Structure 1
Amino acid sequence: MSRGKNVSGASLQTLCCCSVLLWGSSLVLAISPGTPVNPLMRCEYYNETLCMSTSNGSVPAGCRGTEECKPGENEKGNLCYILWQNSSSSLSIKLKGCWVGNNHECSKGKHCVVTRREPGVQLLFCCCEGDMCNVNLNPTAVVTANLPPTQAAPVRLAPRGPSTEAIVLSTLTPLLSMAVILALGYYLYRRHTLLGGGHFDEVPTAEPTPLPSPMMTPRALQLVEVKAQGRFGSVWKARYMSGFVAVKIFPIQDKSSWLVERDVYRLSQMKHENILEFLGAGKHGDSLDAEYWLITAYHELGSLCDFLKANLVTWGETLKIAESIACGLTHLHEELPATKLEPCKPVVAHRDFKSKNVLLKSDMTACIADFGLAVVFLLGTSPGEAHGQVGTRRYMAPEVLEGAINFNQEAFLRIDMYACGLVFWELVSRCSAQDGPVDEYTLPFEEEVGQHPTLEDMQEAVVHKKVRPKIKDLWRKHQGLSFLADTIEECWDHDAEARLSASCVQERVSYLYRKVPPPVKEKNVTATYVPVVDIKCALTPSVLLPPKESSM
C-alpha cells in the first residue's frame, strides 16, 4: 500500500477518535455542567406582562407556572428570583423564575430575601437557593452585601427556563460537530485513496514519476453516447478537451473488476501500441450512487466483431489485423526485464479474449482491451484464487469447459491462444481474398450451437464432439488464407500443450507478409511496410506449412 494511503488511514483514525471525544464531552455538557449530576431545581414562574395581555379577564397560558432551572457554563448554579415594584401603597410582582448567574449574594432557604435596597429605586430584586424558594417574598429582611456603598451591582433580567428550541440546539450541536469532523476525515481519505473524490488522475506506472498530463475531472469529461454494454458496465464515447476518449463505467457492485483492470493497465512496461491506451481511472459519485470510471483512448471503428459484421477486409487488412493481435498477445504474455526507468513487466493472461475485446484503430491495426478478468503472474507467486471457469462460453477452451485446468502460468496462456484461433477464424471468414462469395458474418460455433449457447451446449460440442468452426474449401485455394487456416487449427488444438504460442503466431504472420504480400494498391496497406521477422517456429522458404510447435 502506498505511503499516502497509510497517512490517510492514520488521519482518519485520529479524526474519528477526536470526534467521539468531542461528541461525548459536548453531550455531557448539554446534559449537566457539574459533577456529580444534580437534579434540576424548580422555581415558580410568573410574567406580569403576559398575564395582562388579554382584555377578557382570562389568564393566558404560559404567564405563570413552574419551570426547571438549567445553569449555563461557568455559572454558580440553580437560583430562583423575584423582581417586583415597591410603592408606598402596594407591592407589585413583575417577574418570577429561574436566575442563572453569580453576580448576587442569594439567601439560602425557603424565602426570597431582598439582597440590597437602594434609595429611589422602585424595582427591587431578590434571589434564593432552594426548590420553589421564590414562592414567598420577605421584603422586610435585608441582607447587606459586601460591596462599596456607592456601587450597585447590575441587575440582569432572569432568563426563562429552557425552551424546546434550546434543548434541541444543545442536543444537536455535538452531533453536528461530530458529523462535520467525520465528513472532513472522509474527504481527506478520498483525496488520498480514491483519486480525489471524483477526480481522475493519470496513474503513473511508478509513483515518483510526475503525471504526464493535466488531471481529468468529471466536469472536463462530457459523456456523448453509449457505444457498448457488457456484464461489467457500459462504454461511453466522451468529449475531453478538443478530442474524444472512451469511458468505461462500472457499477459499484463490479468494483473488483474495475480494480483488476486498472491495476493491469498500471503495470510496469505495460504500454504497447497493440494494448489499448490507458488514460486514467477514478471513482465518481458517493454512497450507493457511486460509479467507477476507467478512461482510455477512443477508437471510432469500434470492436473487430462489430466491424466484421458490417465490412469485408482485404488480404492486406487481414494480415495487418492478425499480426497486431498477435503482437498484443505476445506483449501481454511475455515477461520483460527491468530497465533503468521501470521495474520488470510480469506475465499477464487475458482470460476473456474475443473479437469484442479487440479494437480497431484508424490505420486498421488492432489493440487488445478489457482486462477485468485478467490474471497477473508476479515473479514467485501463484494465480491465487483465480476461478478457472470464467470468460465468454463461446470462446472457452475445452479444458475450461470441463473444469480440468492446471492452475499454472502456461495453462492460462494456452487458454488465450485457443480463443485467438477463434478470433482469427472470424477475421478470415470475412476476407475478400477468398475465391468466391464471402458469407455473412457469424460468431464462432453459431452454426453449431446458435447465438445463445448454454454451458452444456458448449461442453457437448467442444469437449465431447470436438467440433470446431468450419474451415471452408475456398480458403484452401488461396495460399495465404490456407496458411492462416493451418495456424488457426494449431491454435485451437484440443491438446493445450500442442497449441501455438503468441510469439510463434506473430512470427508466422510476419513471415506470411513476405511470402504472400498484399497488393500495393490495397487501401490501408503501404508498399513500404516490412514486418520484423524472427523465425523461431522453423518456417522454411520452400515450405509454407511449418511443423507443430512441439516438434521445433
Structure 2
Amino acid sequence: DSDFHACSDNEYQGLGRTCFCCRSEYCNTREFHNESLDNITESTRGPTSTEPTASPSQDYSPDATTIATISVGSVILIIIVVLAIALTVQFYSKGRIVSFKNKEVDLVEEERNHGMMDGTITGSGVGMPILTQRSIAQEINLVQQIGRGRYGQVWRGEYRSEEVAVKIFEAHEQSSWSKEVNIYATCLLQHPNILRFIGADTKDMHFCTQRWLVFECCDQKSLYEYLQNHTLTISTFLNMVAGVVCGVEHLHEEVHGQVTKPAIAHRDLKSGNILVRADGSCCIADLGLALRSTNLSEIINDPSSAIVGTKRYLAPEILAGIINFNIFQSFLCADVYSLSLIIWEMATRVMDEDSFKALEYQIPYQNSVPHDPSLENMKEVVVTQMIRPLIPQHFRANTTLNAVANIMEDAWQEASTARPSALLMKKKFLALQFGQEKN
C-alpha cells in the first residue's frame, strides 16, 4: 500500500533522469513502468519543434563575454581601492607637513617679536632651524673653492640669487655628514650668532655620491684670518666678543617647554671655526663634533670619542685624560676654556690710538709649543707646567680690558668646576658693552 517512487533514464530529447509516483496496484511492474515513462516523456516534450534544445550544462556555463566583463570589473575595482588609499595617505602627509611649516613660521615670528633690549643680542634662542626637506643641489652653481678641511671641501656658490657656502663631504665621511645634519636639525637652534643653515642634500657625481651642507656665505672668512689682517677698537672688540659668547651660550642653553632644546657642547671651539660677516658680527660654525646632552650615551659607550677637537684648544682635563664624561656639564666646561683662548686672541689685537698699539697676532701658546703640537706637548705645557697665555701689561691700565682679563683668567682655570658658565660670561660682556656705549 505504500507509495512507490521510481526513476528511470529518459532517452528522449536528452532530458536525463525522470521521476514519477503511483498508487495503483501492480504499478511497480516493468510493463507499467515503461508505459508510464512513455506518457510522461511525450507530455514533457510538447509539440514538435525544429529548434535544438540546449543541454543543462550549456544553460549554466558563462560565455567568454561574461568572463571578460567580470575580470575587467574586478581590475577596475582594485585600481579604485588602491588610488583611494594612496590619496588618503598623501592627504594626511601633506597635513603633517603643513602643520610643521606653520609651527616653524609661528616660532620664527615669536623670535622676531621677542624683543631685545637696546638692540643687543640676548641669545634667547627662540626659532627653528631652516631644515625644509628639499633638493637644492641641482639648483646651486658652484663658483670657487674657498677652503678645505678634514671632512672635504668648502665652495662658494650661488643659490637663487643668494651667495652660499657649500660644505662638500668626502665619500667616506658619511657619518660626519649625518651627525652634523642631525645637530642642525635640533629645534630652537637658529640664532644670529650661529651660522645660518639652509639645507642638506646629496648629489651623484660619476661613480660616487657627494653629501652637501649649505650655509650662508660670510664675506670675511674665519676669525683666525680676520685677526691677522685687522686691528680692533675696544668698542668693536666688545661687539664681536659679545656675539661669540652669546652664540656659545645659546648652544649650551637647555630649553624646556612645549618645544624643547637640549644643551649642546661644541667640542671644537677655535678662531678658525668662528666666521665674521660683512657687518663685523661673528657666528659659530662647524658643529661636526658637537654633542647634544640627549646623546651622552654615545660617549659613555665609547670613551675614546670624548677626546676630540683641536689639540691647542683642548681643556686641561681632556689633555690629562681625567674628564668625567658621565656628566654632560664636563663638556660645557671644556668649551668655556676654549672660549677663553679665543677671547685672548681677539684682545691682543685691540688698540687705542691715545694709549697703546695692538700686538702682533698670535695663536694661543705660540711660543710654548710647536706649530702642530702633539697631545703630549700640550699636556706638558697646560697641565704639568700650568702655563696660560700672557696678559699684556697695558690691559691692567685700562678699566675695560682689565675686566676682560679677569674674565679670561676665571675661564681658563685648572679646575673645570671653578670656571664661569657661558651664561655668566655673556652677562658680563653685555654689561661691559653697555658701559662702553654709555661712555
Alignment of 1:16-415 (within 5 A): 215-285=134-204, 289-339=208-258, 343-378=259-294, 383-384=299-300, 385=302, 387-407=305-325, 408-415=327-334
Deviations 1:189-240 (A, max 9, x none): xxxxxxxxxxxxxx99958968887944333111111222111122111111
- Indicate conservation of the 8 Å contact 2:345/2:364, yes or no: yes
**Alignment RMSD, CA only?**
2.5
1:505 aligns with 2:425: yes
- Indicate conservation of the 8 Å contact 1:204/1:266, yes or no: no
Flag the structure with higher helix content: 2
Gaps of 5+ in 2: 1-96, 105-129
AA aligned to 2:333 is: R
- Indicate conservation of the 8 Å contact 2:274/2:283, yes or no: yes
AA aligned to 1:280 is: G
Query: Counterpart in 2 of 1:475?
Result: 395
- Indicate conservation of the 8 Å contact 2:350/2:357, yes or no: no
* Range moving further from structure 2, 300-309 or 382-391: 382-391
- Matches of 2:131 and 2:421, distance apart in 1: 35
TM-score, normalised on structure 1?
A: 0.54
AA aligned to 1:464 is: T
Cα separation, partners in 2 of 1:212 and 1:374, compared to 1, 3 Å: closer
Deviations 1:337-387 (A, max 9, x none): 233xxx300010000011111111222221111011111112996744361
AA aligned to 1:353 is: L
1:456 aligns with 2:379: no
**What SS class does the counterpart of residue 390 from structure 1 fall into?**
coil
- Matches of 1:426 and 1:367, distance apart in 2: 16
AA aligned to 1:488 is: M
AA aligned to 1:374 is: A
**What SS class does the counterpart of residue 410 from structure 2 fall into?**
helix
Cα separation, partners in 2 of 1:472 and 1:266, compared to 1, 3 Å: same
Cα separation, partners in 2 of 1:204 and 1:287, compared to 1, 3 Å: farther
AA aligned to 1:390 is: V
- Indicate conservation of the 8 Å contact 1:417/1:492, yes or no: yes
1:428 aligns with 2:347: yes
Cα separation, partners in 2 of 1:399 and 1:345, compared to 1, 3 Å: same
- Matches of 1:369 and 1:380, distance apart in 2: 21
AA aligned to 1:391 is: G
- Matches of 2:103 and 2:257, distance apart in 1: 16
**What SS class does the counterpart of residue 285 from structure 1 fall into?**
strand
TM-score, normalised on structure 2?
A: 0.67
- Matches of 2:330 and 2:169, distance apart in 1: 29
AA aligned to 1:375 is: L
AA aligned to 2:248 is: L
AA aligned to 1:357 is: N
Query: Counterpart in 1 of 2:108?
Result: none
- Matches of 1:493 and 1:444, distance apart in 2: 15
How many percent of aligned residue pairs carry the same amino acid? 33
AA aligned to 2:422 is: A
Deviations 1:275-317 (A, max 9, x none): 1111111222268522211001111011111100111111111
- Matches of 2:263 and 2:428, distance apart in 1: 22
